Amino acid sequence: MFWQRAWYRRGVDFRLWLLLPLHWLFCGLSAVRRLLYSIGLLAAYRAPVPVIVVGNISVGGTGKTPVTEALIQWLIRQGLQPAIISRGYGGKGPFPQLVTAASSAAAVGDEPKLLATRTQVPLVVGANRQQAIELLLKQHPEVSVIVSDDGLQHYALARDIEVVVVDGQRGFGNGWRLPLGPLREPLSRLQHVDFIVQNGESPSAALAGLKVRTWRFDLLPGSWRRVNQAQGSQAESVTLEPGNYVAVAGIGNPQRFFDTVAATLAAEATIRVVETKAFADHHPFTAADFQQFNACTGVLMTEKDAAKCQPFAPDNWYYLPVSAQFETEFWQQFAKQLQTKQTLHEAARSTYGS
């Protein structure tokens, strides 16, 4: 938590300068690794169907999971049969593993569990993306396009379309790369991706300086649901009881969730959020984490956190689902790009007879 607070302050916290040698080491190793893939000394696996990578160049929450879900829903509406691969961060495995709505978040990770529940499409988790795709296509040969949830820096996987998600609220922090700042790659990387999508707010000065096209999306909150009931499309909306609540969040940018809760409940005079509690991103929640809040009427949380808390949640815990909404022009441009990549894959299959 200290690192993220320091990264997103103006300038560089003087204590971070102690990490300058590690910063240069990280930058050097990253540059060499990408060079080796670009010149072919390290081979990248190319899947037999188009691969769309949804990722970011910064550490922490940017809205990547809702964007992945929005892409999947759009692909389904186009008559395609999409699937998802994910690293399964925070999951204990074994990997690779096919994820279903019945999978445990502890085994497969909170974000894959959420995506499997919300999208109902095939999803495989595993750090080795090639193994994940091979298992996916073996179990679901009908899949026609794959969306990789995260993996922008996973150059061992060849990709057809890159979508980079930017947090319009926090931007790129102090602009430095790890561990001095939140960036995994330099800002110049954004000049070589297909789409940059920004979570609300106005384009940052850093993006304006790069002279790249940015597409805005907004995270729209849904209605409250009980944590201990079914998630996804089968979940029923509920009305919060009057009283005092605590809002908790174990995500990359917890303040965004707290702001959303405040805006959602602004007109509810009898419902008050008396405390907010931020946990580390991907925090492995247990019932003990909530004992300090027993005096409150209930607990409010994100849908991602609810995926981990469902097994032990009482009736007075609620989550707020959100969805990403894009402008029509974005989908028109995305459709053109995808059609081009599909044509190239079809031509390759025709040429090599596979």
Annotated binding-site members for ATP: 58-65
Question: Which of 129, 196, 185, 191 lies closest to 163, judged by CA?
Answer: 196
How far apart, in whole angstroms, are the C-alpha atoms of residue 98 and residue 204? 38
Number of CB atoms found within 10 A of residue 38's CB: 11
Number of CB atoms found within 10 A of residue 217's CB: 21
| 163 beta partners | 54, 195
Annotated binding site: 58-65
Number of CB atoms found within 10 A of residue 97's CB: 20
In three-state form (DSSP H/G/I as H, E/B as E, the rest C), the secondary structure along 78-138 is CCCCEEEEECCCCCCCCCCEEECCCCCHHHHCHHHHHHHHHHCCCEEECCCHHHHHHHHHH
Q: Which two tokens stand for residue 277?
A: 């509690």
Q: Which two tokens stand for residue 135?
A: 């298992």
How far apart, in whole angstroms, are the C-alpha atoms of residue 174 and residue 75? 36
Buried b (16+ CB within 10 A) or exposed e, 261-288: beebbeeeeebebeebbbbebbbebeee
For residue 99, give the H/E element and its range: strand 97-99
Q: Which two tokens stand for residue 140?
A: 């679901």
Number of CB atoms found within 10 A of residue 159's CB: 24
Question: Which of 176, 221, 227 lies closest to 6, judged by CA?
Answer: 176
Residue type, 296: C
Q: Which two tokens stand for residue 247?
A: 């809002």
Q: How many residues does the chain have?
A: 354
Contact 123, 112 (CB under 8 A): yes
How far apart, in whole angstroms, are the C-alpha atoms of residue 131 and residue 136? 8
